[in-house]
Amino acid sequence: MKESYSVEAFSKIVSQAGMPNLLRFFKRLTYHENLFVTASVLCVFLSLAPLIVAQDDIQNIEGFRVVLDYDEDMNPKSKLFGDVAQMLPDGHANIENLKLEFFDNGKINMHVRSPQCTYDRRNGTGFSTSKLRISTEKMVVTGEDYSFDAKKKKIRIKKNVKVVLKDLQENTKKENENERE
């Protein structure tokens, strides 16, 4: 039968020094005692994690997805995605590879993409001088230097704006094919 240790014994071994004593300590524990000690250490670490993050004042979140707004039936009205978000203490987030999706009646009706954006978490707005691409079923809009309000579904593009109407383009192709015949 293995010898059991109290929390005080564990603390004494850890404080006395070192890895060899610590390893011997863990080898003597049963599976359940090991599990308990590991869980306890994890709890202590997780309780200290906010303090560690608060010292940096900047957090990085990778591969995130957030619903920004819901309709009255609790269906998403808009979602925000990104590869990396650098969360700043002032309430802004610098987002790499921004993707916004807007919904109507539970179906996506507009996609917005940009390589970089600064998003204000408090009021649901964003801005960037980088490129932007908006696509819907009937059009594609591209440009640079933009701002948006996700809740109001408003986007303002300030430079190099180009609009391609999909149905118009398809109809023009069909008309050109009919003229050739």
* DSSP string for 148-165: EETTTTEEEEEEEEEEEE
Q: How far apart are CA 127 and CA 105, in angstroms?
A: 27
Structure tokens at 108: 């996506």
Q: How far apart are CA 87 and CA 57, in angstroms?
A: 8
pLDDT tens, position by position, 35-87: 565 655 555 445 545 544 444 567 888 998 988 888 888 888 888 899 999 98
Whether 107 maps to a domain, the answer reads: yes
For residues 10, 16, 21, 22, the Cα torsion angle rounded to the nearest 10 degrees is 50
Whether 116 maps to a domain, the answer reads: yes
- The confidence score (pLDDT) of residue 122 equals 86
Strand locations in the chain (E): 59-70, 76-87, 92-104, 107-120, 125-135, 139-149, 154-165
Note whether 124 and 137 are within 8 A (CB): no
- The confidence score (pLDDT) of residue 82 equals 92
- The confidence score (pLDDT) of residue 70 equals 83
Could you tell me if 51 and 68 lie in one domain?
no
CA distances from 108 to 30, 75, 77, 111 (A): 53, 11, 9, 8
Q: How far apart are CA 15 and CA 10, in angstroms?
A: 9
DSSP assigned state of 138? S
Lowest-confidence region among 1-15, 96-110, 128-142? 1-15
Residues in the chain: 181
Q: How far apart are CA 41 and CA 62, in angstroms?
A: 25
Start-to-end CA distance of the chain, whole Å, equals 92
User: How many separate domains does the chain show?
Assistant: 2
Q: Can you give the residue range of the structural domain that contains 31? A: 7-56
Tell whether the model's pLDDT for residue 2 goes beyond 60: no
Could you tell me if 108 and 145 lie in one domain?
yes
Whether 139 maps to a domain, the answer reads: yes
- The confidence score (pLDDT) of residue 164 equals 93
Higher model confidence: residue 181 or residue 160? 160
Whether 2 maps to a domain, the answer reads: no
Q: How far apart are CA 5 and CA 25, in angstroms?
A: 8
